[in-house]
Amino acid sequence: MNKAQLVEAIADKVGGRQQAADAVDAVLDAIVRAVVGGDRVSVTGFGSFEKVERPARYARNPQTGERVRVKKTSVPRFRAGQGFKDLVSGSKKLPKGGEISVKKAPKGSLTGGAAIKKAAAKKAAAKKAAAKKTTAKKTVAKKTAAKKTTAKKTAAKKTTAKKTAAKKTTAKKAAAKKAPAKKATAKKAPAKKATTRKAAAKKTTARKR
């Protein structure tokens, strides 16, 4: 049975071929979108559709027998429900007319059910918690970096202050060394005056002679 035959099979039950085609398209579209998004679509008594991750592996080319590496991929998987299995195995008889009697699916089971919604909520909560932890770590790191920078600046200021004090001390010592030299020069000045007086006295003596 292909899609067209499936539409024809349910056309009388849903009020026409167009309505049946729209119903089939809507159901298939909902299942495909849910599975691609990572949700598990479960219909009680019929089966479930889900997305399965296949790791990278080695396989053999059936034509050449050559060993080929297969990349990691995702594939859809269908698991038949117990009611479906029982009908196929023959443990339960398929009714001749009317609809197959299966257990009523829980509300929301076609889109994954409450379990999927809870799982999605848990994932969202986990992501938020991880984001909060990351933000807290970044804040602590920034504060630590700021403290280190402040400590470095303070140490640099202290070093500069010590250097300035050392320069002042050196300047004072140099000034103290220069001061005695000036005093010695001042003391030598009167000796020059005495020499001038002696020269004047000699000239006076020479004139008198």
What's the CATH code of the domain at 93?
A: 4.10.520.10
Domain membership of residue 199 (yes or no) is: no
For residue 16, being part of any structural domain is answered with yes
> Would you say residue 49 lies in a domain?
yes
Average pLDDT, the chain: 76
Residue 88, domain member (yes or no): yes
Dihedral sign for Cα atoms in the order 175, 176, 180, 183: positive
> Is residue 27 one of the residues assigned to a domain?
yes
Residue 81 maps to a domain? yes
Q: How many domains does the chain have?
A: 1
Q: Which domain holds residue 32?
A: 3-113
The model's confidence at residue 163, banded by pLDDT at 50, 70 and 90, is confident
Strands (E) in the chain, as ranges, are 41-43, 47-54, 57-60, 67-70, 73-80
In a 10 Å sphere around its CB, with 0-12 CB exposed, 13-18 middle and 19+ buried, how is residue 15 labelled? exposed
- Look up residue 88 and give its two tokens: 């196929």
For residue 37, what pLDDT band results from cuts at 50, 70 and 90?
A: very high
* Neighbouring C-alpha atoms within 13 Å toward the C-beta of 46: 12
How confident is the model over 102-107, as a mean pLDDT? 50
Per DSSP, 78 falls in state E
In a domain, 125, yes or no: no
Confidence check: pLDDT of 193 > 60: no
CA atoms within 13 Å, Cβ hemisphere of 198: 6
